[in-house]
Amino acid sequence: MTMESVQAPIAQEAACFICRKHAGLEEAPSGGYIYGDEHWRVCHAPAEMAVPGQLFVESQRHFLDFAEMTAEEAASFGPLLARLFAAGKAVTGAERIYMLTMIDGVAHFHLWLVPRRREVAERGMAFLVADHACSDEEAATLAERLRNRLA
């Protein structure tokens, strides 16, 4: 193993927005982290690009996708999503919660959970590609309600 191969992951993680956010080097999400354990952190998505209650599920460890997930991370992922879907529906009144991950903007595993209420006319991709925004106050309020629901 060369010094360059040891330094490459460290440099990659130092440049990673999510790793920097977890280390407190980037602004905390509106309402702070809603949930955290040894594998995952959950926060409200940035208000300027989110519907109220839209969440990011972020891996604690720096990795790209499901192919790089450990057995322990994989085993904890499904139960966490079940809890988040139930809490998200209860708190936001969502009829559906869309789940997606593209990992193009930030090469660190993260998943979007996007609630859609029944009265919203757009469905599926039409809803997901529409411009969404909420206020920082709405995001913080929803984060607190979700945190309480998950406790």
pLDDT in tens, 94-132: 999 999 999 988 999 999 999 999 999 999 999 999 999
Q: Which of 4, 6, 21, 5 is nearest to 108 (CA)?
A: 21
Q: Is residue 119 part of a domain?
A: yes
pLDDT-derived band at 15, boundaries 50, 70, 90: confident
Q: Is residue 15 part of a domain?
A: no
Q: Is residue 58 part of a domain?
A: yes
Q: Is residue 57 part of a domain?
A: yes
Q: Is residue 8 part of a domain?
A: no
Rounded to whole angstroms, the Cα distance separating 91 from 40 reads 21
The pLDDT, as a whole number, for residue 129 is 94
Q: Is residue 10 part of a domain?
A: no
Q: Say yes or no to pLDDT of 13 above 90.
A: no
Q: Is residue 103 part of a domain?
A: yes
Q: Say yes or no to pLDDT of 87 above 70.
A: yes
> Between the CA atoms of 21, 56, 38 and 68, what dihedral angle is there, to the nearest 10 degrees?
-100
| Helix (H/G/I), strand (E/B), else coil: 80 | helix
Pick from 8-22, 23-37, 79-93: least confident: 8-22
| Helix (H/G/I), strand (E/B), else coil: 121 | coil
Q: Which two tokens stand for residue 15?
A: 């440049």
Rounded to whole angstroms, the Cα distance separating 147 from 34 reads 5
Q: Name residue 101's amino acid.
A: T
Q: Is residue 18 part of a domain?
A: no
* pTM score above 0.85: yes
Report the CATH number at residue 106.
Answer: 3.30.428.10
**CA quadruple 69, 73, 79, 19: dihedral positive or negative?**
negative
Total domain count, the chain: 1
Range of the domain at 45: 27-150
